[in-house]
Amino acid sequence: MFAARENEPEIARALLSSNALINTKNTAGHSALYLAKERKYSRMVSLLKKKGAAPLAFKIPKGELKKTKK
């Protein structure tokens, strides 16, 4: 979680190589993928997805979804 939040891909890579759980959530219910996406850390997002981060672990905050016209 720290590695994703602080945009440290090398640390994330090392942790994942040591079998760290990739889809764990913090006390707010956010995953590492969510934190990386929220901060627009594209390199970290790519790494997490490549290593198997679950897209469903990404929680969309209220108000982020916009209605589309039909």
Domains and CATH numbers, the chain: 2-57 (1.25.40.20)
Instruction: Note every long-range contact of 20-26, with CB atoms under 8 Å and residues 24 or more positions apart, other chains counting.
Output: 22/48, 22/51, 22/52, 22/53, 22/54, 23/53, 23/54, 23/57, 25/57, 26/1
pLDDT of residue 1: 87
Residue 67 has pLDDT above 80, yes or no: no
Q: Convert the pLDDT of each residue in 7-58 to its tens digit.
A: 999 999 999 999 999 999 988 889 999 999 999 999 999 999 999 998 765 4
pLDDT of residue 70: 47
Amino acid at 54: A
pLDDT of residue 44: 95
Residue 2 has pLDDT above 70, yes or no: yes
pLDDT of residue 68: 46
